[in-house]
Amino acid sequence: MAKMSIIDIDPKGKRVLVRVDFNVPLDADRNITDDSRITAALPTIDYLLERGAKVILVSHLGRPKGGPDPSLDMAPVAARLAELVTAKVTKANAVVGPEVEALVAAMKPGEIVLLENSRFEKGEEKNDPELSKQLAALCDLYVNDAFGAAHRAHATTEGVTRFVSPAVAGFLLQKEIEILGDALLRDPKRPLVSVLGGAKVADKLGVIDSLLTVSDTLIIGGGMSYTFLKAQGYEIGKSLLDAEKVAYCADVLRKAEETGTKLLLPVDIVIADEFAATANTKVVPADAIPADWMGLDIGPLSRGLFCDAVKSAGTVFWNGPMGVFEMEPFARGTYALAQALAESGAVTIIGGGDSAAAIRQMGFADKMTHISTGGGASLEYVEQGTLPCVEALTDR
């Protein structure tokens, strides 16, 4: 990559501010239910500690409304981090200010200070230059290792880079950019099969356009496929419909034909008479959904069609489930696809979000080449070919 990375700096004795993505899920008792975002940052943290840096970590957690929220402070994260590293971990009670400055001044090489939830500061999401300056004053070097937040130009991700130099990529951010950039967009092992699912077409317009250009085969399943079926003139009953995007879907179908990109849609659908795990279900052809039923998963013929395409791929990019996988009767399409990816021998890239959750839940995570740590960020990268917070880093 053309940006400086962590291996280009000498952090010995330096105060290094690292933007991590510790936005982990918490249960009702504030226990962390999945610490994979913390463990994903450990190579960068350990690298800095081993080289005698003073490591200052900052992350957001959840969506606090307009200021500090005790239910979203970083205490559970600090406790888990302390179990995962040998270094001393001190949690600050603020993001910036005199208390933080005193903690940082007292740090010894090989120690960690974890700042409070960055979104407790109103200036974070506004990318406030004043907050960015205060953050920059805490450090000598800046490392961004928060790919999951790299599509948002906030004070801790983009603003701070204007006041501290160099600003470099951590190992996780670098890996994400290299895999999504080189292995997917610039030089994929062919054939490239892209699979898009999930709910809304509107959320993925730019991604569809981008993947249509680079893919040999584009598979569309999940909730968004019903708008494409509608664009073909099919009755879709009470299935999810992005009514304003029917014309766009018709345009995509036409473009695919013109460019020779194979576009696969479901040929049969698992339908239900209500949105519930206990609903009555049946399998019907994609053009025969009754008016008062809804599609909630791809059918067995579609599973076979999609899985065959994946098995012959050189590279597979997947974002979005094939059905309502949270309900057992409608999880078979997603499961079949996950299994096909696991058995494919292709370079398999999972674009974060629900697909990543499904892959982990179904036990196939260790069979994938790469599971992105950022759903929204990975989609924006696929769409734009870069991200605001990557652009903000120092050129090599």
Q: Which residues are identified as catalytic?
A: 37, 200, 353, 376
Q: Hey, CA dihedral for 123, 141, 52, 9, is it positive or negative?
A: positive
* Residue 395 bridge partners (DSSP): 3
Residue 190 burial class via C-beta count within 10 angstroms: exposed 0-12, middle 13-18, buried 19 and up: exposed
Helix (H) or strand (E) holding 220: strand 217-220
Q: Buried b / exposed e across 272-287, counting CB within 10 Å, b at 16+?
A: beeeeeebeeeebebe
Question: How far, in Å, CA of 332 to CA of 303, rounded?
Answer: 8
Residue holding tokens 């996950």? 338
Question: How far, in Å, CA of 133 to CA of 129, rounded?
Answer: 6
Alpha carbons within 13 A on the beta-carbon side of 217: 21
Q: Buried b / exposed e across 231-245, counting CB within 10 Å, b at 16+?
A: beebebbbbbbbeeb
* Residue 114 bridge partners (DSSP): 57, 91
- Whether residue 237 contacts residue 261, with contact meaning beta carbons closer than 8 Å, is answered with no
Phi-psi region of 320 (alpha: psi -120 to 50; beta: other; left: phi over 0): left
- How is residue 355 written in tokens? 């697909």
Cα distances (angstroms) measured from residue 63 to each of 24, 76, 95, 118:
12, 16, 16, 10
The alpha carbon torsion through 358, 364, 366, 369 (nearest 10 deg) reads -80
Instruction: Please report, as a single letter, which amino acid is at residue 101.
Output: E
CA angle 150, 23, 9 (to 5 degrees): 50
Cα distances (angstroms) measured from residue 195 to each of 287, 357, 369:
21, 16, 16
